[in-house]
Amino acid sequence: MRCISIPRKIIINHNLCIRCLKCIRSCPAEILIQENLGGKISNEIIKITNPNLCFECRACEVICPVFAINVMCAVKNISAP
């Protein structure tokens, strides 16, 4: 059986995030970045640059110590080989 899924959404809860940057370091697609929205360190957020390059490995979700990331997937096609 083959299952193809597409990324629907990556939700990052900025209120929970402690800015450890583990998700950025863990992402094999290198699509997570840190962005400062102005001045203080509390204004730094984790952003996904190109969701289309995400292949839903969930490394970022698993490594986050405060469960701030949720990778949601949508199953697009299931077919027998």
Residues forming the site for ligand SF4 (CB under 6 A):
10, 12, 17-23, 26-29, 31-32, 46, 48, 54-60, 63-64, 66, 68-69, 71
Nearest approach in angstroms of CB 48 to ligand SF4 is 6
Nearest approach in angstroms of CB 54 to ligand SF4 is 3
Nearest approach in angstroms of CB 20 to ligand SF4 is 4
Q: Closer CB to ligand SF4, residue 57 or residue 75?
A: 57
DSSP-derived secondary structure for the chain: -EEEEEEEEEEE-TTT-----HHHHH-TT--EEEEESSSSGGGEEEEES-GGG-----HHHHH-TT--EEEEEEEEEEE--
CA distance 32 to 47: 6
